[in-house]
Amino acid sequence: MKRAPYCVFCDIVAGEEPASVVYEDDEVIVIRNVLRWAPVMLLAMTKEHRTQAELWDGGIGAVGRVAAEIGAKVCPDGFRLLSNFGFAAMQSQEHGHLHIVGGMQLGPYV
């Protein structure tokens, strides 16, 4: 499995860093985000290290399907799937991932 030299998400997948795992299969893992800006903040990603661009170029199908299923289950009144690209968009991890955000009335986009 492709892994970056240092990537906290790769370390979580390998069991070398702690995480609260919400869902896991052979390809995808969903964890609770350590940030708590909303009641539900989850991160869905491939287990294999991919950049955000690589995720959207070939791995978004499985991640998107799982993220939508988990979002609907934990936020039946609605949720957002977000993906940040680059520093200006506040992307803090190179390992491509989707944010599942909800559990409250979400305001307008910035």
Tell me: pLDDT of 86 over 90.
Answer: no
> Does a structural domain hold residue 22?
yes
> Does a structural domain hold residue 25?
yes
Please name the residues in contact with 11: beta carbons below 8 A apart, sequence gap of 6 or more. Answer: 17
Query: Could you give the number of structural domains in the chain?
Result: 1
Q: What is the CATH number of the domain that holds 57?
A: 3.30.428.10
> Does a structural domain hold residue 1?
no
Query: What pLDDT does residue 104 have?
Result: 93
Q: Which structure tokens are listed for 85?
A: 């690209």
92 vs 106 pLDDT, higher one:
106
> Does a structural domain hold residue 30?
yes
- Give the pTM: 0.89
> Does a structural domain hold residue 3?
no
Query: What pLDDT does residue 36 have?
Result: 85
How many whole angstroms separate alpha carbon 104 and alpha carbon 38?
Answer: 7
Tell me: pLDDT of 5 over 80.
Answer: no
Tell me: pLDDT of 1 over 90.
Answer: no
Give residue 95's domain range. 8-102
Q: Quick one: pLDDT band at residue 94, thresholds 50, 70, 90?
A: confident
What tens digit of pLDDT does each residue of 17-72 get?
Answer: 999 999 999 999 999 998 888 999 999 999 999 999 999 998 799 999 999 999 99
